Amino acid sequence: MLKVEHLSKTYPNGTQALYDVSFQVEDGEFLAVIGLSGSGKSTLLRCINRLIEPTAGQVVWNAIDITAAPTSELRNIRRQIGMIFQQFNLVKRSPVMTNVLSGRLGYISPYQSLFNYFSPEDRRRALANLEQVGLSEKAYVRADSLSGGQQQRVGIARALMQEPKLILADEPVASLDPVLAHSILKYLEQLNKERGITVLCSLHFLDLVHRYATRAIALKDGKLVFQGLPKEIDDAQFKAIYGQEAERVSIV
Amino acid sequence: MNSSSSNSSRAIFAAFLSLLIPGAGQWYLKSRWRGITIFGATITLAFLINWGLDNFKIGQIVAGGVTTSWLWIVFVLFAAWNIFDAYRMARGEPSFTGLGVAGAAVILYTLAWNVTDINLDRLITRLPDAAKVARNLVQPDLFFQDDAGAWHPSENFGDIFGRVEDQPAPEWLTRWGLVAEDQKVPAYAAGKLIETIAMGLLATLLSTILALPISFFAAHNIMARLPGGTIIYYVMRTILNVVRAVDTVIWGLLVIVWIGLGSFAGVIALTIHSVAALGKLYSEEIEHIDPGPIEAVTASGANLFQVIRYAVFPQIIPPFLAYTLLRWDINMRMATVVGFVAGGGIGFFVLETIRKGGYEQYAAALWAIAVVIIIVDYISAKWRERILIGETKVSVAAPKPFYKSPRAIAYAILGIIGLVYCWDVTRIDLRTLFEPAPTFVRLLYDFVTIDLTPDIVEIVVKQMIITIFQALLATTLGALLALPFSFLAARNLTGRSRLSVWIYYLTRFVFDVLRSIEALLYVAIFAFWVGIGAFAGTLALAVTTFALIGKLYADAIENIDMGPMEAVMSTGATRLQAIVYAILPQIIPPFVSYSIYQWDINVRMATIIGFAGGGGVGLLLSTYFGMLQYHKAGTVVALIVIVVALMDFASAKIRERMV
Ligand SMILES: Nc1ncnc2c1ncn2[C@@H]1O[C@H](COP(=O)(O)OP(=O)(O)OP(=O)(O)O)[C@@H](O)[C@H]1O
Ligand SMILES: [Mg+2]
């Protein structure tokens, strides 16, 4: 179980991105994080694995206090939490295989990995994960020769290398067209249902939330303004989250 | 089964081809560039090993009564690698490119080390001499303290920055009856630095005016519309490339025969080189304009001149201005050295101080140059940024015409006064252009009918090879030194602690100061330290390389995408692992590409460091010019043009394939 308690974040330039945010996620949930651009979704997800240091509050995961973990332990925690990014964040000039293998870095000795050495076991695992996302024949091409949807699937395969128990996905489909968006989210759904991996995913479109999420939370200007089932987001809730002028739109 | 046996017979055939002719197997396997590169490298290496043995006894060993070079063993290994490479490529296995590169590198660096007479022990044995120069460098002769303890600008300060002194009154003052006939009035006499600034400004102005029309003749898309235009285009481009390949300082040698020593000669030399460089940049810019507006304006029934005025000009003015500003920066730098041969400006002053052994005066000049160039560099970069990003002023009123804005009028008047002053300071005398010295015609004739006797060609080629190796060593040395420092000068990697911010600014400052002074001006320091010769020149080049490449590297690091770093960190990787997997793959290609580019630049630079005692082909050239042997000087210049053009081509090709 993931417990976020009174989490706040103020950036060095004074922007307060999160105000006292508290919520819980049970194991096996698919939690959607919604909110307008700038509402603090990315900040929230990054505070969970401490890519960004929160200013106040706690993140407790299975009785471990992530926010208090020393650097050495942080490595152990991070390797159990996969992360997927809007801009994919692949090393574009490196082959797909190296990108996927880099998901394993948290497990192996830093010195071995300096020379691009990975055990045959890890290489097999990488190929299996590429197979899982349907890209096994692209293993040795450069990452930048793939399309956006394929790059995001490489991103998923990289996260799978960590054998994660939790996946943080920061707008994983915002750079993709609607058809690809569904295909990527279906992979996440499959991982969530079949392997029981907990998923925290920020999303822009409400119909995607309805279709994939088991529960949703909403942020507005850094404050938590809603938590509950996706179907509970009625017109009034919608206006509270997105503002009075907002109109519902949907994608295919 | 069948395919694998045909595959292995294909592999043996490819290997056999590469045994007969190096690179032929690779060519046969459709890796054309790889094949050509291997073939070219093999021939070059063989020639160089043989040349090194003949001229310098490099790697000489006696084996079984035969005198030969051990480098041939490495050469055989290289050839064997080439066969193996073809074999592996045909079987679709990854090839070990690194091995081949390493073999070639062993040969090249062994040769380079020997021909540039590297004497590491001198760096230490003569350290006291160096310390003396260093002391002068930190105590430049600019101010002195009188008995009362007050500070005054020194004589040398006046020489550099100018001084106010009594001079005969200018004619207009007497004519207006303001002063008596032979009365003296205090006037500002410009210093050498002011003269240099004027030279750079004038050369930029003149070359912009001249390059503008020329660039249209060198633009393919414009010339293709005219009958016979394509031929003019090729002729123009060739001329521009040849003129550009010859350094400004070398143009200076030619120009002084034409119009005599002085800052005017410097302006002309700067202008010649600058016209060619700008002409090329401008014409490339014309070739890359958007054809859409041209189509639209043509469709409205406009003729060629109208098309140029309304569809071409608006597109090219901002990039042209940006290039002019960039060139202004380069011209200022070149103006500091052209005086070495042409007389005039701070370059001439530096030459004099070195001759007299006045290292305090020399140091003062270096500091003065650094200040000016850093300012110019800053202004030029800022303005370029403004022009290219473009200011979008939101205004509903129609803009006032230029002559109604008081600010514009004030700028125009200031500009004209500045121009007239520059004209005066550099003693421009256009008439002398049309009254060349009587020897000039002979010079031109001798110069063009170059001396091709084998003896001379051999000497010139020898010095040229040394020059190229100087550039290679200097690039390697400078780049290796710059590597660790470039990380300290990259904003995104240095932390936010106060100490690291200080380190960041300090490193950038050191880069900027060292970068602002041309290699030619550093030679004197190293000549004093390790003695005149190729070693001193190599070290001087290494210093500028360190600063230039350090800045390029640091900028490349600052431009990387931090997303992958974040992603790798999120998997639980350590910082070191994240740097290896997310940062290195992004910076190695630009680093290699910048290093090759820098080698290209250094070869040009190395052709002139000989003028200050840095060895290489420049020394030969200045000797031939000094002895009025223009015949032979022509040979040197012709070879420089060929080598620089080849380097330019090769480096562009390699860098293109790197991306
Ligand atoms: N490094 C930073 N420094 C200062 N302010 C920041 C920084 N990163 C984000 N912010 C600010 O914090 C607030 C929340 O940003 P965040 O990126 O978390 O929003 P988001 O919901 O992910 O938006 P989007 O949908 O556009 O990605 C914004 O106001 C943003 O400007
Ligand atoms: Mg975001």
Tens of pLDDT along B380-418? 999 998 887 765 555 566 666 666 778 888 888 999 999
State how far residue A243 is from chain B, nearest Cα, in angstroms: 30
Q: What sign results for the dihedral spanned by CA atoms B568, B570, B576, B577? A: negative
Contact B567, A78 (CB under 8 A): no
Q: Please check whether residue B131 lies inside any domain of the structure.
A: no
From ligand 1's centre to the CA of A18, what distance in Å?
Answer: 10
- Highest mean pLDDT (candidates A15-24, B146-155, B426-435): A15-24
3-state secondary structure of B300: coil
Q: pLDDT class for A21, splitting at 50, 70, 90?
A: very high
Task: Show the tokens assigned to A76.
Answer: 């152990």
In angstroms, rounded to a whole number, what is the distance separating the alpha carbons of residues B540 and B475? 11
Average model confidence (pLDDT) for chain B? 88
Q: Report pLDDT for B22.
A: 94
Residue B334 has pLDDT above 90, yes or no: yes
**Pairing mode of beta strands B162-168, B184-190:** antiparallel
User: Nearest CB to A83: which of B561, B570, B576?
Assistant: B570
Q: Are residues B254 and B343 in the same domain?
A: yes
CB neighbours of B111 closer than 8 A, spacing ≥ 6? B48, B49, B52, B58, B71, B469
> From the candidates A102, A116, A151, which should be mutated to test the interface with B, based on the most B CB atoms within 10 A?
A102
Q: Which of B67, B99, B115 is the last residue of a domain?
A: B115
User: Nearest CB to A105: which of B496, B561, B573?
Assistant: B573
User: Quick check: B569 contacting A, CB < 8 Å?
Assistant: yes
Tens of pLDDT along A156-180? 999 999 999 999 999 999 888 888 8
Q: Are residues B309 and B417 in the same domain?
A: yes
Q: pLDDT class for B511, splitting at 50, 70, 90?
A: very high
Q: Are residues B587 and B448 in the same domain?
A: yes
Q: Are residues B507 and B591 in the same domain?
A: yes
Q: Report pLDDT for B23.
A: 92
Domain, as residue range, for B508: 443-658
**Dihedrals φ, ψ of B130, to 5°?**
-65, -40
Tens of pLDDT along A216-245? 999 999 999 999 999 888 777 888 888 777
CB neighbours of B599 closer than 8 A, spacing ≥ 6? B471, B472, B475, B647, B651
Mean pLDDT of A37-60: 93
Tens of pLDDT along A181-216? 898 999 999 999 999 999 999 998 888 899 999 999
Number of domains in chain B: 3
Please state the ipTM of this predicted complex. 0.81
User: Quick check: A79 contacting B, CB < 8 Å?
Assistant: yes
Q: Do A94 and B568 touch (CB under 8 A)?
A: no
Q: Are residues B420 and B454 in the same domain?
A: no
In angstroms, rounded to a whole number, what is the distance separating the alpha carbons of residues A76 and A55? 22
Q: Are residues B460 and B379 in the same domain?
A: no
Task: Show the tokens assigned to A9.
Answer: 């974040």
Residue % of chain B over a pLDDT of 90: 47
Compute CA B489 distance to the chain's CA centroid, rounded to the nearest angstrom.
Answer: 22
Residue B321 has pLDDT above 50, yes or no: yes
- The reply to whether ligand 1 has any atom less than 6 angstroms from the CB of A54 is no
Q: Are residues B419 and B452 in the same domain?
A: no
Length of chain A as a residue count:
252
As a whole number of Å, the end-to-end CA separation of chain A is: 33
CA atoms within 13 A on the CB side of B421: 15
Q: Do B572 and A110 touch (CB under 8 A)?
A: no
Its CATH architecture, for the domain A1-80+165-252, is 3-Layer(aba) Sandwich (3.40)
Q: What is the CATH number of the domain that holds B264?
A: 1.10.3720.10
Residue A249 has pLDDT above 70, yes or no: no
Q: Chain A to chain B, count of Cβ pairs less than 8 Å apart?
A: 86
From ligand 2's centre to the CA of A149, what distance in Å?
Answer: 19
Residue B158 has pLDDT above 80, yes or no: yes
Q: Are residues B426 and B480 in the same domain?
A: no
Which of B469, B599, B626, B454 is closest to B534 using CA atoms? Answer: B469
Chain A, residues 83-122, CB within 8 A of chain B, namely 83, 85, 87-94, 98, 102-107, 110, 113-114
Which atom of ligand 1 is the closest one to the Cα of A43? 18
Tens of pLDDT along B215-254? 989 998 888 878 888 999 999 999 999 999 999 999 998 8
Specify which residues A202 forms β-bridges with. A33, A170
State how far residue A162 is from chain B, nearest Cα, in angstroms: 7
- Which of B426-451 are b and which e, b meaning 16 or more Cβ less than 10 Å from the residue's Cβ? bebeeebeeeeeeebeebbebbeebb
Which of A94, A62, A55, A58 is closest to A81 using CA atoms? Answer: A62
Contact A155, A83 (CB under 8 A): no
Contact B294, B312 (CB under 8 A): yes
Q: Are residues B250 and B348 in the same domain?
A: yes
Domain range annotation of chain A = 1-80+165-252, 89-163
Q: Please check whether residue B405 lies inside any domain of the structure.
A: no
Tens of pLDDT along B569-616? 999 898 888 888 998 889 988 999 999 999 999 999 999 999 988 888
A147 burial type by CB count under 10 A (0-12 exposed, 13-18 middle, 19+ buried)? exposed
Q: Report pLDDT for B390.
A: 62
* CA-to-CA dists, residue A195 to A184, A188, A192, B324, angstroms: 16, 10, 6, 63
Q: Report pLDDT for B176.
A: 78
Q: Report pLDDT for B1.
A: 43
Q: Are residues B425 and B532 in the same domain?
A: no
